[in-house]
Amino acid sequence: MKRSKTPTFLVELPLQVNAQQAKHLRAHFEAARCLYNALLGEAMQRLKLMRADPRWQEARRLPRTQKQERAATFSQLREEYGFSEYAMHAFATQARTSWIADHVDSNTAQKLATRAFQAVLRVCFGQARQVRFKSRGRGLDSVEGKTNTSGIRFVLQTPDEGNAGWLVWQHDHLPALIDWNDPVVKHGLSQRIKYVRLVRRRASSSRAQGADCEGFRYCAQLVVEGLPYTKPKHRVGTGTLGLDLGPSTIAIVPQEGEARLLPFCAELKPKQQAKRRLQRKLDRQRRANNPQNYDQRGRVSKGRLAWKDSHGYEKTRRRLASQDRKLAAHRKSLHGRLVHEVVACGTTIMTEQLSYCAWQKQYGKSVGAHAPGMFLEHLRRTVARTGGSLHEVPTTTTKLSQYCHGCGQYKRKPLSQRWHQCTCGIGPVQRDLYAAFLSCSLDLRTLVPSIAQATWESAETRLRAAIEDVQARATAGEVLPQSFGMPRAGARLPRSRASDHQELRFRHDRVEAVAR
Ligand SMILES: [Zn+2]
């Protein structure tokens, strides 16, 4: 019988690991990596054999209307070839022999088998083209137990025993750093622990705080039952709001209240610039170390090449990696803040379905930097927790960016046209704000916005206020994304104090450039 699922959240605690324990952990992770690769290979092999069976092709040729017959044939084949999670668990028990058994317990091995199976299942369903084997250099960075009673587990003392906690794996007891004054941690630790995950992360160097001699930090992720802590400052609004998410902008228009047009994660810019500088440094170092691998025009030569990495190069690479981690952590925190701002306006959210693949092709740099898909995923989780709903309506049927509610007509606009203005008298209104407004008044049955004249009049003033706010920010010198449709503030301000017009003059027997 399938067990009913309960809500789950994570509590992350840093671990204090001494040199001896770190050595053990590294060995455990290496053994887990080898086992994972073996399981992945086995699952791929089983999939290959199953697909080579003529009955597989026959089953695929069955029409989709014969649902039961199709499903029965596929499940028969899966059972025969041992392509299931439980068959993989059995294989994991078998494969966990000799030296690997000294490092990885059976529960952990089964969890690795589940992980490998799920990776291969994505290939089976056509969601992925291949699986990734973990190389020695990259390694495996997390292992988890199945329950909190055996294998990897977390032991927490009661308050009168001293309130300390340890992650226990085999003979090692790794003390966790617990900040009992943090209400988030305190709430998390008062729940039932389902199981524990041990995570290792690369620090900037081996001398970083809490890092072992190879520059790894360790932490325990407790998977606990219940709902995460909600800080008192995070209100939950009641109302309907429309969102329009762009690769670097977000427009929020509630049915009542203030509308906003915001750049997405604008605070990340200095970090991105620092990252870019490191990338350029890395490239210069790579070229200086391996001049033989480039042709005269500075392109990488073809064929198999041997690359030399200097110590300086490796140092820059580590710095870049740690810059990237900081960037990701900052982005996640900004996403969280924005999610709370949105949820404070309302929890019935309407937005258009996004096509991330298309976006990644067209706006790769911006999507990579701002991760709008991750933001939406975060929003969906938070909204579900607060009891609201997030409606994603398909763009192909609603076509909100082409719609005009005044005349009810759909008209395509080029992407460069950032303002909506129609001959029927609607507008001018900023395109993203208008799309968000339309989606907030969308009728979910007909997928056509239903807007009364009075609603539009009140909304128009709100949208205008949002634009005025943006204008004020642009005048103050903030650099805004081009998609806002505002003349860029950065372009209007002089770049430096020096005048562009210079003239040459003789002074004290030498030529000087003097500003006019
Ligand atoms: Zn119109």
Please state whether beta strands 240-245 and 249-254 pair in parallel, antiparallel, or not at all (unpaired).
antiparallel
CA 510 to ligand 1 center in whole angstroms: 67
Per-residue confidence (pLDDT) for residue 507, from 0 to 100: 55
What distance in Å separates the CA atoms of residue 167 and residue 484, rounded to the nearest whole number? 50
Ligand 1 centroid to Cα of residue 389, in Å, is: 30
CA of 467 to the centre of ligand 1 (A): 21
CA of 452 to the centre of ligand 1 (A): 14
pLDDT of residue 63: 85
| Among 449, 453, 477, 480, residue whose Cα is nearest residue 466 | 480
Distance CA 255, CA 440 (A): 7
Q: In this predicted structure, what is the pLDDT of residue 510?
A: 57
Query: How remote is the CA of residue 89 from the centroid of ligand 1, in Å?
Result: 61
Q: Measure the CA–CA gap between 435 and 443, rounded to whole angstroms.
A: 14
Distance from residue 349's CA to the centre of ligand 1 (Å): 25
410 C-alpha to ligand 1 centroid (Å): 9
d(CA 85, ligand 1 centre) in Å: 56
Residues 6+ apart with CB under 8 A from 499: 515, 516
Report the separation in Å between the CA atom of 408 and the middle of ligand 1, taken as the mean of its atom positions: 6
Quote the ligand 1 centre to 248 CA distance (angstroms): 27
| Run of H or E residues at 199 | strand 193-202
Identify the residue whose tokens are 């040729």. Answer: 61
Gap from CA of 359 to ligand 1 centroid (Å): 28
The SS3 of residue 225 is strand
Question: Which pLDDT value is given to residue 43?
Answer: 94
Q: Report how far ligand 1's centroid is from the alpha carbon of 409 (Å).
A: 6
Q: Which helix (H) or strand (E) holds 506?
A: strand 502-507
Contact in structure between 259 and 463 (CB atoms under 8 Å): yes
Ligand 1: centre distance to CA 446 (Å): 19
Determine the distance separating the centroid of ligand 1 and the alpha carbon of 484, expressed in angstroms: 21
Sign of the CA dihedral with 432 first, then 435, 440, and 441 last? positive
401 alpha carbon – ligand 1 mean position (Å): 12
Return the SS3 of 475: helix
pTM above 0.85, yes or no: no
Ligand 1 centroid, distance to 354 Cα (angstroms)? 25
Enter the tokens of residue 502: 């210079």
| Ligand 1 midpoint to CA 403 (Å) | 8
DSSP, collapsed to helix, strand or coil, labels residue 167 as strand
- For the record, the structure tokens of 508 come out as 């004290």
Compute, in angstroms, the gap from residue 427 CA to the centroid of ligand 1. 9
Report the separation in Å between the CA atom of 202 and the middle of ligand 1, taken as the mean of its atom positions: 56
Residue 467 and residue 420: Cα distance in Å, rounded?
13
The answer to whether 30 and 22 are in contact (CB under 8 A) is no
Handedness of CA 88, 90, 95, 100 (dihedral sign): positive
Question: What's the gap in Å between 472 CA and the centre of ligand 1?
Answer: 29
**Do residues 272 and 369 lie in contact, with contact meaning Cβ atoms separated by under 8 Å?**
yes
DSSP character at residue 15 = B
Cα(414)–Cα(53) distance, rounded to whole angstroms? 50
Q: How far is the CA of 420 from the centre of ligand 1 (A)?
A: 9
Alpha-carbon torsion, ordered 229, 234, 239, 241, to 10 deg: -100
Q: Pairing between strand 403-404 and 409-410? A: antiparallel
- Report CA(455)–ligand 1 centroid distance (Å): 16
CA 83 to chain centre: 30
Between the CA of 430 and the centroid of ligand 1 the distance, in Å, is 14
* Chain-centre distance for alpha carbon 29: 24
**Ligand 1 centroid to 247 CA: how many Å?**
27
| Contact yes or no for 203/214 (Cβ under 8 A) | no
CA of 482 to the centre of ligand 1 (A): 25
- The rounded Å distance from CA 356 to ligand 1 centre is 30
State which amino acid sits at residue 8. T
* Interval between CA 425 and ligand 1 midpoint (Å): 7
453 Cα to the center of ligand 1, angstroms: 13
Distance 393 CA to ligand 1 centre (A): 22
Residue 496: what pLDDT? 46
Residue 293, classified by CB atoms within 10 Å of its CB into exposed (0-12), middle (13-18) or buried (19+), is: middle
Q: Tens digit of pLDDT per residue, the chain (516 long)?
A: 566 788 899 999 999 999 999 999 999 999 999 999 999 999 999 999 999 999 888 888 888 888 888 888 889 998 999 999 999 999 998 888 888 888 999 999 999 999 999 999 999 988 889 999 999 988 899 999 999 998 899 999 888 888 889 999 988 899 999 999 999 999 999 999 999 999 998 887 888 888 888 889 999 999 999 988 888 888 888 888 899 888 888 999 988 888 888 888 888 888 889 999 999 999 999 999 999 999 999 899 998 999 999 999 999 998 898 899 889 999 999 999 999 989 988 888 988 887 777 888 888 888 888 888 899 999 998 898 888 888 888 888 778 888 888 888 888 888 888 888 888 878 788 888 888 888 888 877 777 788 777 788 888 888 888 888 888 888 887 777 777 777 654 444 444 444 445 555 555 555 555 544
User: How remote is the CA of residue 257 from the centroid of ligand 1, in Å?
Assistant: 25
List of residues 6+ apart from 394 with CB closer than 8 A:
352, 353
CA atoms of 204 and 201, how far apart (whole Å): 10
Q: How far is the CA of 195 from the centre of ligand 1 (A)?
A: 57
Query: How much distance in Å is there from the Cα of 495 to the middle of ligand 1?
Result: 41
- The Å distance, Cα 468 to ligand 1 centre, comes to 23
SS3 of residue 200 by DSSP: strand
Helix (H) or strand (E) holding 21: helix 19-52
Do 20 and 96 meet the contact criterion of CB atoms below 8 Å apart?
no
| Token pair listed for 45 | 């092999």
CA of residue 215 to ligand 1 center, whole Å: 61
CA of 303 to the centre of ligand 1 (A): 58
DSSP of 288-316: HH-GGGB-TTSPBPSS-------HHHHHH
How big, in percent rounded to 5, are the helix, strand and coil portions of the chain? 45, 20, 35
Q: How far is the CA of 424 from the centre of ligand 1 (A)?
A: 4
Report how far ligand 1's centroid is from the alpha carbon of 212 (Å).
65
